[in-house]
Amino acid sequence: MNKMNVVIGQSGGPTPVINASLRGAVEKALKHDQVGSVYGTPNGLQGILNHKLIRLNEKLPEICKASEQPGAILGTSRHPLAEEEYAKIIDELERVNAKIFCYIGGNGSSRTVLALHRYASAMGKDIRFVHVPKTIDNDLDGTDHCPGYGSASKFLSHTVQLFAADMLSLQTVSKVEIIEVMGGNRGWLPAASALFKKQETDYPDLVYLPDHPIDADAFLADVDNTFSSKGRSIIVIVPDHMKVNHLAKDPYATEDPIRGHNAGIGFRLSQYINRQLKIPTRVTVPNSLFRIASGFVSRVDYQESLLLGDKAIDYALAGYSGGMVTLERQSSSPYVSRVQWAQLDDFAGKEKTFPTSYWDASRHMPTPAFVDYLLPLIDQEEPGLVFSLN
């Protein structure tokens, strides 16, 4: 029997569990008699195009160890696939007798997998292409949730409560704390910041979503009213893709010391508050901490990431191609999910919207339905902090 080989790549922004999917795929491939060699492609498509594939058969112990750490150990890229590169990729896969290509990534990777599948099919090539989803943004359509989202949500929801404990302990100067949150164009991750807000006096105080543009004056009124009614420091969550209408660029604004003139929305809003309301304002921008805080990895997130890599190989060996391994929720309490197959024709590159039933726009807060959705994905773990003995 002629053995088939497997090529696996990682793409886009890493997540805390991206290496778990790699581990799941490599472990499963090496268990099958049909599979000969398993190759990793460094830096996504670039490794294939540059003929730099790495044989992974003897590297399983290192991959298992790396599955517990952040950062994509194969290296990723955001290389946009050009039409003239289709043939080069197929030629390289054929050169190493690869019949399966698994690509771990987000929306861009899903488009790549579908495009290569269609090209190979049109050329009569027997190569199976499988997309393994990952993104902290949770914006891939066709799946209940994405690996990486649960861990990033755990980090954010717990960290906001740690900020609250710090603010409540030091009341010498009341201020506005703006926390700028990743999440792309959808509100899945910013909404997670308020997972443990149970009363109006709890933190965070205001949460904004990229899905809902807001006027600069309305934002200012929200902050002013909340700060005045609370009489002490407040926490405001803003997404990095937040759209604020009529927020003029201040010609006298100082530059962000890290990002220079390309200041983020949190920095611009902090200056707007300072200028208009004269309230001390501080900005925290965790940036890649959402992707690397391994101490907050969700066990559910890890196990599902591992399982999706595993099942990607099973589906490919069964002849499936041009699709994505997805998570289907069967129950939230107790939490049960299963892996399914979805053809990418209807989903590739499409962003999953944040449901209106998950958001109370009048309060700038998530609804109980969103809490029920998210809690299982962070292991049902609450921070369990004591804020005061008074």
Would 69 be classed as within a structural domain? Answer: yes
Find the CATH number of the domain harbouring 213.
3.40.50.460
Residues 165 and 141 both lie in one domain: no
Q: Among 185-199, 285-299, 301-315, where is mean pLDDT lowest?
A: 285-299
pLDDT at 384 over 90: no
Find the CATH number of the domain harbouring 319.
3.40.50.450
Q: What integer pLDDT is reported at residue 169 of this predicted model?
A: 86
Would 387 be classed as within a structural domain? Answer: no
Would 253 be classed as within a structural domain? Answer: yes
Binding-site residue numbers are 13, 107, 135-137
pLDDT at 250 over 80: no
SS3 per residue for the chain? CCCEEEEEEECCCCCCCHHHHHHHHHHHHHHCCCEEEEEEECCCHHHHHCCCCEECHHHHHHHHHHCCCCCCCCCCCCCCCCHHHHHHHHHHHHHCCEEEEEEEECHHHHHHHHHHHHHHHHCCCCCEEEEEECCCCCCECCCCCCCCHHHHHHHHHHHHHHHHHHHHHCCCCCCEEEEEECCCCCCHHHHHCCCCCCCCCCCCCEECCCCCCEEHHHHHHHHHHHHHHHCCCEEEEEECCCCEECCCCCCCCCCECCCECCCCHHHHHHHHHHHHHCCCEEEECCCCHHHHCHHHCCHHHHHHHHHHHHHHHHHHHCCCCCEEEEEEEEEECCEEEEEEEEEHHHCCCCECCCCHHHEECCCCEECHHHHHHHHHHHCCCCCCCCCCCC
Residues 263 and 337 both lie in one domain: no
Residues 342 and 365 both lie in one domain: no
How does residue 261 score in pLDDT terms, banded at 50, 70 and 90? very low
Residues 168 and 276 both lie in one domain: yes
Would 390 be classed as within a structural domain? Answer: no
**What share of the chain has pLDDT > 90, as a percent?**
83
Residues 77 and 192 both lie in one domain: no
Residues 257 and 336 both lie in one domain: no
Would 262 be classed as within a structural domain? Answer: yes
Residues 130 and 276 both lie in one domain: no
Q: Which residue has the higher pLDDT, 256 or 13?
A: 13
Residue 137 bears catalytic tag: yes
Would 159 be classed as within a structural domain? Answer: yes
Of the residues 137, 141, 301, 310, which is catalytic?
Answer: 137
**Residue 288 lies in domain:** 149-293+356-378
Q: What integer pLDDT is reported at residue 252 of this predicted model?
A: 46
Binding-site residue numbers for diphosphate are 13
Q: What is the pTM assigned to this prediction?
A: 0.94
Q: What is the mean pLDDT of residues 64-69?
A: 95
Residues 159 and 236 both lie in one domain: yes
pLDDT at 256 over 50: no
Would 351 be classed as within a structural domain? Answer: no
Residues 29 and 106 both lie in one domain: yes
User: What average pLDDT is seen over the chain?
Assistant: 92
Residues 68 and 183 both lie in one domain: no
Query: For the chain, what is the domain count?
Result: 2
Would 389 be classed as within a structural domain? Answer: no
Residues 270 and 283 both lie in one domain: yes
Residues 82 and 115 both lie in one domain: yes
